[in-house]
Structure 1
Amino acid sequence: MNRITTLVAAAAATLAVATPMAASAAPWQTINARQARIDARIDQGIRSGALNRNEAYRLRSDFRALSAREADYRRSGGLSYRERADLDRRFDALSARVKVQKHDGQHRRW
């Protein structure tokens, strides 16, 4: 009986630890997936008129610069933890700028 109680307690502890890790791992995206998603959001903003020409140009320039930085990092033999964190921070900032520019009330002036 004592052995069963110990196994049940160990299983419960494992489940309690694994559940938050699985939940936090679900929204994680690869660098390539983040790039594709941001690129698609910029395209959608251009098509809908939510981004004007200047906004789209600046966002595309920032996107290309970030892609070039990622390529430089990868050339050195893959992404280190520090490089991955830097790219994540920069992608977060670019994503926030896309959101702000799409919702700032300035519309297409093509």
Structure 2
Amino acid sequence: MNKLTLMIAGLGIATAALPATASAAPWQSVNQRQANIERRIDVGVRSGSLDRREARSLRIQYRRLVRLEARYRSSGHRLTRGERRILERRYDALSRQVARQRHDRQHRRYASYRRR
């Protein structure tokens, strides 16, 4: 009886913890996010899913974020919790915008722009 009670309690705890770990996205450092966004923009340009205007706009926004991070880091060596939160939200927004632009069914009109 005691083993059965412990097993049921263990399953209950494991079941309660499972949704929390399954829904949590893996944490990425700011540098990883920067590299990921840059890569996604480059892939979009090469595949033709981003035209020149879209890519230029996304890169301008990306550079603004990089400058903002540099400004935050110039005040000290580490980012504060608030600065990190601001950067994460802005990178989230930029990431969503890259995805939206890449999947908006607009493609480059001329195949001559494609890299080979």
**TM-score where L is the length of structure 2:** 0.71
- The C-alpha deviation readout for 1:3-49, integer Å capped at 9, x for no partner, is xxxxx9xx889867876665566x33331111111110000000000
Runs of 4+ in structure 1 displaced over 6 angstroms? Answer: 11-18
Query: 1:62 corresponds to which residue?
Result: 61
Instruction: Write the distance in 2 (CA, Å) between the matches of 1:51 and 1:87.
Output: 24
Unaligned runs of 5+ in 2: 1-6
Instruction: Write the distance in 1 (CA, Å) between the matches of 2:40 and 2:56.
Output: 14
Unaligned runs of 5+ in 1: 1-7
Instruction: Write the distance in 1 (CA, Å) between the matches of 2:51 and 2:70.
Output: 28
Instruction: Write the distance in 2 (CA, Å) between the matches of 1:52 and 1:108.
Output: 9
Give the paired residue count: 108
Alignment of 1:4-23 (within 5 A): 23=22
- Single out whichever of 11-20 and 92-101 deviates more from structure 2: 11-20
CA apart distance, 1:73: 1.1
SS at match of 1:77: coil
Alignment of 1:1-110 (within 5 A): 23=22, 27-30=25-28, 31-75=30-74, 76-104=76-104, 105-107=106-108, 110=113
Instruction: Write the distance in 2 (CA, Å) between the matches of 1:60 and 1:46.
Output: 11
Percentage of identical aligned residues: 44
SS at match of 2:46: helix
CA apart distance, 1:103: 1.2
Q: Pairwise CA RMSD of aligned residues?
A: 2.5
**TM-score where L is the length of structure 1:** 0.74
